[in-house]
Amino acid sequence: MSKRLTQAIPKVMGVIAVAMALFQVLTAGFGTLATMEQRCVHVGFALVLIYLYAASRREKPDAAWVVDILCALVAAAVAVYVYFNWYDMAVRIMFPKAADLVVGGALIVLVIDATRRRVGWTLPIITVLFLAYALFGHVLPGQLGHRAYGWRQVVASLTMNTEGVYGTVVGVSATYIFLFVLFGTLLEYSGAAKFFVDLATGALGRRRGGAAIAAAVASGVFGMVSGSAAANVVTTGSVTIPLMKKTGYEDDFAGAVEASASTGGQIMPPIMGAAAFIIAETLGPPYIQVTLAAFIPAVLYYGAIIFMIVLHAKRMHIQGLPKEQCPKVWPVLKNGFYLAFPLLLLIFFMVFMGWSPLKSGFWAIMASITVSFLRRETWLTPRRLFEAFEKGAMASLSVAVICAISGIVIGTLSLTSLGLKFSSILVSLAGGNMVVLLVLAAVAGIILGMGMSTTSVYIVLAVLLAPALTKMGVDPLAAHLFVFYYGCLSAITPPVATASFAAAALTGSHPFKLGFQAWKLSLSGYIIPFMFIFNQELLFQGSPLGIVKALLTAVIGIYALSCSIEGYMRKPLHWALRALLFAAALLLIDSGLWTDLAGLAIVAGMYLLGRGKKSA
């Protein structure tokens, strides 16, 4: 009997996961439900699946198994209660019934526990601290204190309207994000991920450093859809890392390229790991404006990685892949060109047609299913489609609970006004100095983002750090992109570098050694946000001539920085010349005429002379 119970859970979980996927796709294509209905069903599905997954991992139905099943049943009951009572709950939020508070309390506990099970302790601990602040912060002195709130007020405000667990962020997860996670899974099942890797390898693999460049390009394309740097490393790294090692790249460098490129996928438009939708929803500008602003910085990030790859290959005398190991571009295109159609269609709908991400995502999913039938080997048969839907739903669970728990954090910040106070404290610490404030925000973004996913990083930083920058006069979109970039870079910043750790698992390298190499490889990425803060032409804000000038000086600047870091420009460089190139890169951050001329003069002079001495 006990064996039958344990064997039945995965089957039940699979059916529920597919039901969740169908619910999301159908409501996207044929009209979403009322706000609270859509969100409570989405969160309910996620919580039930997380607890069923935990139960499926148990070897026998012991006490822990019983707890998992009970939690799944409670999660389902909470979703049903909210679905049928949401309107009355919103009306009586000031005077909640006992049942409202019991359901709300259970929801908060389940969300915190489910997040702990899914993504670890970091975000749950932060959330518990924020809840403690909401309940007991009134005893704190000075600016940190707030008016007293009882537990009834806190629970009601976080669970009975669209300001807490069922807030805007969960709304994005319940609509846009789920669709794009599912779309990424369908691309994988249809063979599109392999197609992009083969195409990049065939086009670039024979060039010096070509295998690593192909890995960076393929990881960037797939990474912008996946929504997780670590997940992207595991998905594409199993193919790209062996290719890089075959051409002579060391294990650490190959893993660092994959980790850095996969992290860059989170900042690459048009999807940006789903963060583009949340930024647009948070700030209010059209979605296309967000993606356009993020385009040049993302290109610069990948340009810096490619510079580092090529310079390293020249310094280490690494050649390209042998001809026989590179797929031929024409056969790859001929046999799999149709696999790129859904992604191109998605971009066309959102960028050129101006369709909403929800509508575009729905039709991109329909297209990915349809085009799979053009060749027998890529058919998404009912069985494979069931597996893809199940995997897509399971892959969305982390984002769903992260959005739900982030709603608790945002709700407490709104209730206590801590977000405004935190911004004031940062501005005060900076003493009115913009550079100091940016450095503080960058460091805080990296620290707060460690161990967190792309979505949760942006949500937390947008509330805590971005307002401080806007108070100092930074354009809101630039401020939000600034903190988002540093939150994403935490994935490759030691000591908690999740993307680097995932790459180390594939290469067998020491995680911290590989993490340092990835940090070094992406160092230009830490400078780029400062560039677009001081030179907003890089965000497509300004005249066409100004944008072109800003782009050219930025490219030269990251080239100089890459040469400085790698210690190579036509020849190996002495440390003094490396320092001079680093100074030139810093000069090119500012958009001033004289600083640009000075930086350009240094870079041009050193490149033309080409007389760098070998490092000692």
DSSP string, 348-393: IIIIIS---HHHHHHHHHHHHHHHGGGSGGG---HHHHHHHHHHHH
In the prediction, which pLDDT does 614 show?
A: 45
Q: How many CB atoms lie within 10 A of CB 141?
A: 6
Confidence category of residue 615, pLDDT binned at 50, 70, 90: very low
The pLDDT score that the predictor gives to residue 78 is 96
pLDDT tens column, 114-126: 988 887 787 788 8
Residue at 36: amino acid letter:
M
**In Å, how far from its chain's centre is CA 57?**
28
Residue 356 lies in a domain: yes
**Same structural domain for residues 149 and 106?**
yes
- The yes-or-no verdict on residue 201 having pLDDT over 50 is yes
Residue 454: band (very low, low, confident or very high) from pLDDT cuts 50, 70, 90 = low
- The single-letter code of the amino acid at 121 is W
* Span 233-243, pLDDT tens digits: 766 776 778 77
Question: Which is more confident, 177 or 138?
Answer: 138
Answer yes or no: is 234 within a domain: yes
Q: pLDDT grade, residue 53 (50/70/90)?
A: very high
Higher pLDDT, 420 or 49: 49
The winner for highest mean pLDDT among 25-39, 292-306, 325-339 is 292-306
Same domain, 119 and 183: no
The answer to whether residue 536 sits within a structural domain is no
Residue 613 pLDDT exceeds 60:
no
Average pLDDT along the chain: 83
pLDDT band at 69 (very low <50, low <70, confident <90, very high): very high
Q: Which residues contact 357 (CB under 8 A, 6 or more apart)?
A: 176, 179, 180, 277, 287, 350
Q: Rounded mean pLDDT of 169-186?
A: 79
pLDDT computed for residue 226 by the predictor? 58
- Could you say which of 375, 391, 409 is where a domain stops? 409
Domain total in the chain: 3
Same domain, 244 and 281: yes
Which of 360, 385, 409 marks a domain boundary?
409
Instruction: Examine residue 284 and state whether it is found in any structural domain, yes or no.
Output: yes
Nearest to 43 by CA among 405, 453, 411: 405
Within a domain: 207: yes
User: 305 and 394 share a domain?
Assistant: yes
Residue 422 has pLDDT above 60, yes or no: yes
* Pair (175, 156) in one structural domain: no
Give the model's pLDDT for residue 584: 86
Are residues 71 and 14 located together in one domain of the fold? yes
CB 575 within 8 A of CB 615: yes
Instruction: Label each residue of 118-133 as H, E or C.
Output: HHCCHHHHHHHHHHHH
pLDDT at 444 over 60: yes
pLDDT at 22: 93
Range of the domain at 557: 542-616
At 569, give phi and psi (nearest 5°).
-150, 100
Checking if the pLDDT of 100 tops 90, the result is: yes
144 and 197 housed in the same domain: no
Residue 86 lies in a domain: yes
- Res. 611 pLDDT band, cuts 50 70 90: low
In 3D space, the residue among 455, 604, 599, 580 whose CA is nearest the CA of residue 531 turns out to be 599
616 falls in which pLDDT band (50, 70, 90)? very low
Q: Tokens standing for 452? A: 């967190």
Q: Identify whether residues 156 and 177 lie together within a single domain.
A: no
Residues 270, 263, 182, 169, CA torsion sign: negative
From the CA atom positions of the chain, what is the Rg in Å? 25
Q: How confident is the model at residue 38 (pLDDT cuts 50, 70, 90)?
A: very high
Task: Check whether residue 259 and residue 191 sit in a common domain.
Answer: yes
Q: Are residues 333 and 260 in the same domain?
A: yes
- Statement to judge: residues 375 and 313 lie in one domain: yes
Paired strand residues for 568: 572
Within 227-340, where are the H helices?
229-246, 251-264, 275-283, 287-315, 329-336
Is the pLDDT confidence value at 352 over 60?
yes
Cα distance between residue 294 and residue 270, in whole Å: 9
Residue-level pLDDT at 18:
94
Tell me the one-letter amino acid at 69.
Answer: I
Looking at the fold, whether 130 and 192 belong to one and the same domain comes out as no
Picking from 383, 409, 435, the residue at the C-terminal end of a domain is 409
Give the model's pLDDT for residue 495. Answer: 62
The 3-state DSSP class for residue 417 equals coil
Residue at 525 is within a domain: no
- Res 375: pLDDT: 80
**DSSP bridge partners of 383:** none
Is 471 part of any domain? no
Confidence category of residue 17, pLDDT binned at 50, 70, 90: very high
**How much of the chain exceeds pLDDT 70, in percent?**
91
